[in-house]
Chains A and B, each alone.
Chain A
Amino acid sequence: MARRSFLRYAGAGVAGAGLLAITSSCHKDNQNPTVGIDIGAKGDLAILNYAYALEQLEAAFYINVAAHMYTGATPDEIALLTDIRDHEVAHREFFKAALGTNAIATLTPNFSAIDFTSRAKVLAAAQAFEDTGVTAYNGAGYLIQSATYLTLAGKIVSVEARHASYIRNLLSPGSFADTTVLDANGMDKQQTIAQVLPIANTYLTTKVSASNYGYVAV
């Protein structure tokens, strides 16, 4: 077993991050139309593009929700779901602006699996997006090399968690942080890029890969 493998296995973060940094010098998007889009070479630009992809998906989802509000939505639900839409659009546009010419292309979502007329279906999808978003940001935090970008990711993830708490309580009062998302230590869980992107890709026509982080869309 090579030492490198051991580092990954034992989760020795500092040493691991050092190894990753070696490969982070140049960034090129692999935008192969037959495969989709790749977030690029290891490094902060890839992580920002990963976040940009997820925020594009969330923004598109809530734009749809707000434009075709489900049957029986209360004024309070309409107001707060519209707020969430605006937050996700702000996140999306922030990443687009921050990445500039390094940004991946605009993704085409596919929400055909979601019945936007159904409160239960829409909120269940929203809950999945928000909870997954939290695990995605939490899991990618240690990969970020810039303190500024790490703080920015922190500024966004707590807002995603606020959304998750609200959506969960709409579906099931009191479930804002229940044992289906938290562990026995009362902590959220993290997911890797390779765990999150396959979930996101089920709602994307443009498939997103992270070949340098162990995931290629099929």
Chain B
Amino acid sequence: MNLSGIIEEIEKVDPEFQDRISPRRAAIKNITSFGSKVAVAAMPFAFSTLFKKAYGQTTTTSVNDVLNFALKLEYLEAAFYNAGVASSLAFSTSEKAYLQTIKGHENAHVAFLQGILGSAAVAQSTQGTNGTYDFTAGGTFPTVFSSVDTFFAVAQAFEDTGVRAYKGQAPNLLGNQVVLTAALNIHSVEARHASAVRQIRRARGAATTKPWITGANDTGIPAVNGNYAGEDNVLQGGVTITSLAGVSGNVAVNAATEAFDEPLTSAQVVVLVAPFGVK
């Protein structure tokens, strides 16, 4: 992306563009260095900031709230996979490879969100106890780092819940090309992870666990009922999915619930992740 070229273009139609920015060139310089420090993909965010500066729109706190909410969840997930990979859990070679991939993404999401938020980013040290989480969730999952099955059960709950959390925030970013699109691009990666973790659990013997969510809480773990509450919904936008024609007969209840993932509000998510130390 040719930043200076774009700025020249702006100046052609708006000669006062420079004067609209305070402190003039410094703002552009900051954005340029921001871009080189973070990633080229973050550049549209820099333009958003620049545009708001230039044309007097104030940064809406709600967008930052959404981003910080996401950041807190990504901090949790990144710490979880960092600890899992570093643990002495006896993962198979392929399981370990999956975890390395997911770990890399969660840490990248943290860095990306921190880059966008800049000084507005919530510090990781504010989470848990001085930045350290309780992955047993107050003793609910005592074997999370001594049992591979428990570890993957918690991983699945985190991923499925992460998908629901991002989905629930989408309306708060309605029409926001840059931020909504970025959130959606993270949302679908969390869904790829959720599916992958579910595939691992299926291969490890949880035969009823599919890559997609069937009904309400298909994990067999009552402790995560809340994470799956509402996933058995079959009414979508006023349409009862089970009343629609399927391949033979109407769409079955299981297929109807699997075909649509359900959102959670931030308030619902906060309750679910608080036992781990998310604040």
Pick the interface stretch among B82-90, B132-140, B218-226, B238-246. Answer: B238-246
Chain A nearest CB, measured from B238 CB (Å): 7
Chain A nearest CB, measured from B198 CB (Å): 8
Cβ-defined partner of B181 (8 Å) among A151, A185, A190: A190
Interface residues of B in 231-279 (CB under 8 A from A): 236-239, 241, 244-247, 251-252, 255-256, 258-263
Q: Is A215 an interface residue (CB 8 A)?
A: no
A156 in contact with B260 given A16-B177, A83-B210, A183-B41 (CB within 8 Å): yes
Q: Is B28 an interface residue (CB 8 A)?
A: no
Q: Write the chain A residue with the least CB distance to B255.
A: A86
Residues of chain B at interface, number, CB under 8 A: 77
Residues of B within 8 A of A6 (CB): 9-10, 13
Q: Write the chain A residue with the least CB distance to B42.
A: A185
Cβ-defined partner of B256 (8 Å) among A90, A164, A174, A188: A90
Chain A nearest CB, measured from B129 CB (Å): 27
Q: Write the chain B residue with the least CB distance to A12.
A: B51
Contact B177 A165 (CB under 8 A): no
A93 in contact with B245 given A3-B13, A164-B192, A166-B199 (CB within 8 Å): yes
Q: Is A213 an interface residue (CB 8 A)?
A: no
Chain B nearest CB, measured from A172 CB (Å): 12
Q: How many contacting A-B pairs (Cβ < 8 A)?
A: 252
By secondary structure, the B interface counts as: helix
Pick the interface stretch among A103-111, A113-121, A133-141, A204-212. Answer: A133-141
A187 in contact with B185 given A162-B195, A177-B193 (CB within 8 Å): yes
Q: Write the chain B residue with the least CB distance to A87.
A: B259
Q: Is B186 an interface residue (CB 8 A)?
A: yes
Contact A186 B109 (CB under 8 A): yes
Contact B186 A187 (CB under 8 A): yes
Contact A17 B175 (CB under 8 A): yes
Residues of B within 8 A of A72 (CB): none
Cβ-defined partner of A138 (8 Å) among B41, B188, B256: B188
Q: Write the chain A residue with the least CB distance to B95.
A: A174
Residues of B within 8 A of A66 (CB): 247
Chain B nearest CB, measured from A155 CB (Å): 4
A11 in contact with B44 given A97-B239, A186-B108 (CB within 8 Å): yes
Chain A nearest CB, measured from B155 CB (Å): 14
Contact A176 B195 (CB under 8 A): yes
Cβ-defined partner of B244 (8 Å) among A3, A94, A142, A177: A94
Q: Write the chain A residue with the least CB distance to B211.
A: A166
Residues of A within 8 A of B180 (CB): 13, 141-142
Binding site for B on A (CB under 8 A): 1-3, 6, 9-14, 16-18, 63, 66, 80, 83, 85-91, 93-94, 97-98, 134, 137-139, 141-142, 144-145, 147-152, 154-166, 169, 173-174, 176-178, 182-190
Binding site for A on B (CB under 8 A): 6, 9-10, 12-14, 39, 41-42, 44, 47-48, 51, 94, 97-98, 101-102, 104-109, 111-112, 163, 166-167, 170-171, 174-182, 184-196, 198-199, 210-212, 236-239, 241, 244-247, 251-252, 255-256, 258-263
| 21 CB < 8 A contacts A-B | A13-B176, A13-B181, A63-B247, A86-B252, A87-B255, A94-B239, A148-B237, A151-B170, A154-B166, A154-B170, A155-B262, A156-B259, A159-B259, A162-B211, A162-B212, A163-B212, A182-B189, A184-B39, A185-B108, A187-B109, A187-B189
- Nearest first, the 10 A-B pairs at minimum CB distance are A13-B177, A186-B105, A186-B108, A165-B195, A161-B191, A147-B171, A17-B175, A158-B191, A162-B195, A86-B255
